[in-house]
Chains A and B, each alone.
Chain A
Amino acid sequence: MFDAFIEGLILVLQWKAFSLMLVGMALGFCVGLLPGIGGAATLALMIPFIFKMSPAEAFAFLLGMHSVAATTGDITSVLFGVPGEAISAATVVDGYPMAKKGEAGRALGAALMSSLLGALIGAVALALAVPIVRPLVLTFGSPELFMLSLIGISCITSLSGATTRGQIKGFAMGLFGLLISTIGQERQSGSLRFDLGMMYLWDGLDFVPVLVGIFAIPEIIDLAVRGTSIAGDRPPENLSSGVMEGVKDTFRHFWLVFRCSIIGVFVGIMPGAGGGVAQWMAYAHAVQSATDSKERGGFGKGDIRGVLGPGAANNSKEGGELIPTVAFGVPGSGAMAILLSGFLIMGIMPGPEMLTKHLSLTFSMVWTLAIANVITVILSLAILDQLAKLTYVRGGLIIPFILLLVFVGSYTANGQIADLIVTLIFGVLSYFMVLFGWPRPPFVLGFVLGKVIETYLFISMTRYGFSWLTHPIVVALMILMVVVIAYPYIQQRRQRAREPAHA
């Protein structure tokens, strides 16, 4: 085992594999910065180039690119409030307000360092879990995955205002997101729902135009209204020390980063959930770490923990997603499905052989995840000062470029003008949501999870009727869900009980 571990490292460090990994990383860096052009789409574009590569070279190239895209996706989220990747949306919620407070360097430092730690924890999880994860994944059928998705949805309690009225608004937005996710063809029967007679809506709404509209448009409007730079008229922070402060923040909140990384790994292992869910669950967990209502109120206004949690989960889920892909050939996400085709092109069948015959190749993937992220973060830290300066460029100069990024990004979803209109519609909706205090994160969580929940519910009902409700793991997950829902209330009660005592 140890020999294979070292062999895996040697495979990655061979000059050709290492050079290809660097090329992949450069591509991934650009892709991560461009909204809309997702890591999965780029993986698909790069698959034809791997035919003449050896398996170790091919995976160094593909994984180097894919893992780096998840890391750099946070950069535009922090600087402009435009998610570079769909999986970087949660970083906007606290990262962009930090940029507005003149703390872009600190937010970027924290996002990148937590991403690095997340990626390393994901890589370690991949190395450790491959032999033991088989029973876990095989135990989780559709009912268990449905319950797991419901636990994801129940995070709404943590993503909404603390009072009953805040919770009503939060749950309403979550349900609204779920309702929007039902637009299009129903997968089981093929019937059309809420298509308004438009062929564009038959496939449902794509994540990118919706997410970019939801997060970017209100920020652009706010920037235009203020008429200043993103950081406003605040004196420029000492950018270098800001970046280092963000790095230190990661270690100050190490256990939060660690827990969020574990959430990312776990969600990554479960097929279908993906990074869209992991980031929000991690964000909700970060909110739960607030010790009192004042601290909780700081989330969404620029709390560093709101950047650290999603940053860590985004990258650790890469390692998690690889576990079922490598061990059983069950891809955890679209990107992993494309990677799976890479395995087949290389003539490798994922499964038990990856743990015996190709063990060194499996470990080379672990090393690629780790090395690619270490190099990216070190290089990025060197240029973060310059990137953070963009938040001091006057709004009138930067707005047209952000608009360009937003709309070109959303156009890449389907290549239709309708994508731009969807972005505009959800941008307007999001503007009013922010204006009137309806939280956006629960909406996004509902929208991302909607299709997954419906699919698993349908399969569970068809396969088991109602008997799945009595499955032991389902019952255990139900209890866990109740705990997740009740936790913020219990926490609030405790705080209230404690506050008079302190007063």
Chain B
Amino acid sequence: MRANQLMRKGNFVFCIFLIAIAAYATFAATGWSFKTKLFPLAVSIPLLTLLLIQVLLMIGGKEQTNESAAMDIDFSIEVPPEVARRRVFGIFGWIVGFIMLVYLLGFPLTVPLFIFLYLKLQSNIRWLTTVAITVVTWGCFYLLFQSLVHIQFEAGAIQSWLGM
């Protein structure tokens, strides 16, 4: 029951967030030349209208039926909500951490470091297996992306600060 209420509130906030974007787009576009604003306004005004109708329907308290469900995947519901929430924050933390590491160290150093840390700290894999997987992954990454495809990876911020 409480989870349902939370979902409804969350859905409402998400809808308001979309309305804010559509309203900003409409407001920002009005100052542009005709050519520039024509298409964004032709899109943002109906978008705003539809979202407002949606909000009114939500306020009216009409429940969503199965038939109006999105044609999309469903998240798993087998895990208790508290555990699920903790795991969601956990994985978001890893993703943000990965991006931070790429920013600070660059891809070539982040790849082995991230794989090693994730396998050891999150997945609790044995030391030997972790090291072996890390080395193989780094080798594959180097061979494929750096030697074969020649992707130019930016140096990390730390290397730039150190003048490396």
Contact = CB atoms under 8 A, between A and B. Distances in A.
A189 B33 contact: yes
B25 A225 contact: no
A403 interface: yes
B28 A179 contact: no
B98 A297 contact: no
A224 B50 contact: no
A293 B67 contact: yes
A427 B95 contact: yes
Contacts of B5: none
A217 B98 CA distance: 13
Given A169-B54, A189-B36, A403-B94, A161 B69 contact: yes
B75 A225 contact: yes
A370 B47 CA distance: 44
B67 A163 contact: yes
Interface in A195-234: 217-222, 224-227
A179 B22 contact: yes
B147 interface: no
Contacts of B145: 408
Contact of B79 (A193, A217, A226, A401): A226
B10 A175 contact: no
**Binding site of A, secondary structure by majority: helix, strand, loop or mixed?**
helix
Interface centre among B62, B87, B114 (most CB of A within 10 A): B87
A166 B28 CA distance: 29
A437 B11 contact: yes
B111 A225 contact: no
Interface residues of B, number: 76
Interface residues of A, number: 82
B67 A439 contact: no
Interface in B132-161: 133, 137, 141, 144-145, 149, 151-154
Given A37-B149, A191-B32, A220-B91, A437 B71 contact: no
Interface string B50-65: 1101100100001011
A458 interface: yes
A317 interface: no
Contact of A407 (B40, B88, B102, B118): B102
B75 A435 contact: yes
Nearest to A492: B67
B39 A454 contact: yes
Nearest to B58: A165
A399 B133 CA distance: 13
A125 B11 CA distance: 46
A411 to B, nearest CB: 7
A226 to B, nearest CB: 5
Contact of A439 (B32, B70, B137, B141): B70
B68 A191 contact: no
A178 interface: yes
Contacts of B119: 396-397, 400
Nearest to B75: A222
Interface of B: 7, 10-11, 14, 18, 21-22, 25, 28-29, 32-33, 35-36, 38-40, 43-44, 46-47, 50-51, 53-54, 57, 62, 64-76, 78-79, 83-84, 87-88, 90-92, 94-96, 98-99, 102-103, 107, 111, 114-115, 118-119, 122-125, 133, 137, 141, 144-145, 149, 151-154
7 contacts: A30-B144, A93-B72, A165-B68, A297-B66, A396-B123, A424-B96, A435-B10
